[in-house]
Amino acid sequence: MKTLTSFSKRNLVTFSLVISLFSFLFYAYEDGITGRTLKSSQPGCLCHSETNSPNVNVVIEGPGILKPGETADYAVRISGGPLVRGGTNIAVSSGTLLPGEGLQKIGTELTHVQPKIPQGGEVVFNFTYSAPNNPATVTLYANGNSVNYSGTEFGDSWNFAESRTIVVDNTSDVKDEGMINDFYLSQNYPNPFNPVTKISWYSPTSGWHTLKVFDILGNEVTTLMDEYKSAGNYEIEFSAKSDGISLSSGIYYYQLAIGNFKETKKMILIK
């Protein structure tokens, strides 16, 4: 029987140490990590893969318009990928984040306490956001990882959420040009939804507001608004089952047009 030489033993020990260190580097953050959203200079969950995956869907849900100092509930939803467990990192440009169940606050950011088990095909992290006391345009950032929980980093995936803009405005007066100067269409919330969701937007000028819903083929489903409005913040409720509408599960689009401004966003109906 052959025995290991001292050289072979040293190589085996070195290899074992490298593997141990490698495993530590990738799994030392199982209890959460911050500084990995698009707000950071080093974004991305690179310990799970070198690039983000389009197969992982990460969505930030919550109001797109708040008053100064107002507090509201938000959520990060993660779906797709292996998703045996899911984790997140959440950051904001200004204001205060407060963790919900399964989250912890490290510095000014939120991250998971431990990878969370999915329910109904998705992992949801709820949190609270308090707006700054002065009018501002705030950005919420998040990413989510979808892991196979195999004990190695192989086969894991992650992606960024679309950064969410929150208009913080005292709606009683929008005449101050230094307050908010741009049109803004919020992501609907909740999203995915069943059967009711809300759509909000901000217009810095008076004009004709047209808000329509289309199916994935581009066919118009309904017109939610088509009237002249003053400058300001607006919110409207859309039901997938009312007024002669009975939509099936799938992807839909809503489009806002005000003068030369036009923007379209995607929403998902899940029954």
Residue 177 lies in a domain: no
Beta bridge partners of 252: 215, 267
Question: Are 86 and 118 found together in one domain?
Answer: yes
What is the residue range of 196's domain? Answer: 184-269
Task: Report the largest interatomic distance among the alpha carbons of the chain, rounded to a whole angstrom.
Answer: 90
DSSP state string for 23-84: HHHHHTTTT---S-STTSSS-S-TTT-SS--TTSEEEEES-SEE-TT-EEEEEEEEESSS-S
Residue 65 lies in a domain: yes
* pLDDT at residue 268, as a whole number: 92
Question: Are 26 and 143 found together in one domain?
Answer: yes
Question: Quick one: CA torsion of 7, 12, 15, 16, rounded to 10 degrees?
Answer: -140
Question: Are 165 and 200 found together in one domain?
Answer: no
DSSP letter at 122?
B
For residues 34 and 232, the model is more confident at 34
* pLDDT at residue 91, as a whole number: 97
DSSP letter at 220?
E
Task: Provide the CATH number for the domain around residue 210.
Answer: 2.60.40.1930
Q: What are phi and psi of 217, to 5 degrees?
A: -90, 0
Question: Are 74 and 163 found together in one domain?
Answer: yes
Task: Provide the CATH number for the domain around residue 46.
Answer: 2.60.40.680
Q: Is pLDDT of 55 > 70?
A: yes
| pLDDT, tens digit, 9 for 90 and up, residues 104-123 | 999 999 999 999 999 988 99
Lowest mean pLDDT segment, chosen from 92-96, 152-156, 239-243, 262-266: 152-156
For residue 10, name the pLDDT band (cuts at 50, 70, 90). low
User: What is the mean predicted confidence (pLDDT) over 210-215?
Assistant: 95
Question: Are 28 and 96 found together in one domain?
Answer: yes
Question: Are 96 and 209 found together in one domain?
Answer: no
For residue 77, name the pLDDT band (cuts at 50, 70, 90). very high
6 three-class SS: helix
Question: Are 49 and 71 found together in one domain?
Answer: yes
Lowest mean pLDDT segment, chosen from 3-7, 58-62, 98-102, 219-223: 3-7
| pLDDT, tens digit, 9 for 90 and up, residues 144-195 | 999 998 877 678 999 999 888 888 877 544 434 334 457 888 888 888 899 9
* pLDDT at residue 19, as a whole number: 40
Question: Are 241 and 263 found together in one domain?
Answer: yes
* pLDDT at residue 11, as a whole number: 55
| pLDDT, tens digit, 9 for 90 and up, residues 131-143 | 999 988 899 999 9
Question: Are 161 and 189 found together in one domain?
Answer: no
Question: Are 156 and 220 found together in one domain?
Answer: no
Question: Are 193 and 118 found together in one domain?
Answer: no
Residue 175 lies in a domain: no
* pLDDT at residue 49, as a whole number: 75
Altogether, the residues listed in the chain come to a count of 271
CB atoms within 10 A of CB 68: 14
Residue 178 lies in a domain: no
Q: Is pLDDT of 22 > 50?
A: no
| pLDDT, tens digit, 9 for 90 and up, residues 213-251 | 999 888 999 999 999 999 888 889 999 998 778 999 999
Residue 1 lies in a domain: no
